[in-house]
């Protein structure tokens, strides 16, 4: 069951009563102004207005393009292969350490 976002009531219409529901304070209708979430979104940190480019990912892209001709799958397989090798080496090193201590 999806929960109703009751918080939106406050987010969009923080004022209550006549102002929201079309009542007539001082004898005339008042418009609902842009409130709440939209204003919050307007305040998004400036740097979020533009995509932040992570130099680490840019380096990954360069590696894939330069060394793998843009083949992401080959790159990923290579990563996994390397990870497995690293784990194997670590495991062997641990066994050797234990053997030396025994």
**Contact positions vs another protein (CB under 8 A):** 2-13, 20-22, 29, 31-32, 34-38, 40-41, 43-45, 48-51, 53, 56-70, 72-79, 81-83, 86, 90
Please identify, using beta-carbon distances, which residue of 50 and 101 lies nearer to another protein.
50
Please identify, using beta-carbon distances, which residue of 10 and 92 lies nearer to another protein.
10
Q: How far is the CB of 98 from another protein (least distance, A)?
A: 18
Please identify, using beta-carbon distances, which residue of 98 and 102 lies nearer to another protein.
98
Q: Buried (b) or exposed (e) across 44-77, using 16+ Cβ within 10 A?
A: eeeeeeeeeeeeeeeeeeeebeeeeeeeeeebee
Taking the CA atoms of 72, 74, 77 and 81 in sequence, report the sign of the dihedral they define.
Answer: negative
């Amino acid at each position: 069951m999806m929960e109703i976002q009751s918080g939106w009531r406050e987010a969009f219409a923080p004022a209550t009563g006549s102002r929201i529901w079309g009542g007539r304070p001082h004898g005339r209708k008042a418009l609902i102004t842009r409130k709440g979430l939209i204003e919050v979104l307007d305040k998004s940190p400036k740097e979020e207005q533009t995509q932040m480019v992570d130099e680490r990912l840019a380096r990954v892209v360069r590696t894939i393009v330069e060394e793998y001709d843009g083949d992401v799958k080959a790159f990923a397989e290579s990563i996994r292969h390397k990870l497995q090798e690293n784990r194997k080496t670590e495991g062997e090193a641990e066994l050797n350490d234990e053997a030396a201590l025994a």
